[in-house]
Amino acid sequence: MSGRALSDTTAARIVSDTLDAVIYADRTGTIRLWNAGAESIFGHSPEDALGESLDLIIPEKHRRAHWTGWERVMDSGETRYGADPLSVPGIRADGTRVSLEFSITMLKDDEGRIEGIAAVMRDVSKRWEETRDLRKRVRELEAQLSGS
């Protein structure tokens, strides 16, 4: 294999065409990148999402905690999250909930200040529902066994 790096055009195509949502927000939390995967998962077109706050996809009851953490990260340049994906709920354009797993990358300027955060998100709603249903079934079976 050649040691040649990908061209910027190829890298941009990977980001734009992946099924996962790739979202970049600047340090104010304003969406600056919204790929086709984000449109598919959340139901907002790039025209509707670009320039909007991340509140567009954050359920209202989670916004305060999100922005508190966001400000802490912007001020400190550090996050408490390790290599494991984060699991959070999101909200689609139609108001329905989506279960998400995602990883983040902080982008910094030459002086080390955070310019913004990129997130790669995956819809894991189906898996989350299957796990919930399995846990419910296990509880039911345990209750039946203990009642026998």
pLDDT, tens digit, 9 for 90 and up, residues 11-54: 888 888 888 999 999 999 999 999 999 999 999 999 999 999 99
CATH of the domain at 59: 3.30.450.20
Does residue 2 fall inside a structural domain? Answer: no
For residue 109, which phi and psi values (nearest 5 degrees)?
-85, -175
pLDDT, tens digit, 9 for 90 and up, residues 70-113: 999 898 888 776 667 888 999 999 999 999 999 999 999 998 88
- Neighbour tally for 144: CB within 10 Å: 9
CA 67 to chain centre: 14
What is the predicted pLDDT for the residue at 148? 65
> Can you read off the two tokens belonging to residue 65?
């905690």
User: What is the domain count for the chain?
Assistant: 1
What is the predicted pLDDT for the residue at 134? 73
Domain with 89 in it: 8-147
Q: How are beta strands 97-108 and 86-91 bridged, if at all? A: antiparallel
- Report whether 54 contacts 65 (CB < 8 A): no
Q: CA-based angle 40:46:50, to the nearest 5?
A: 130
Does residue 34 fall inside a structural domain? Answer: yes
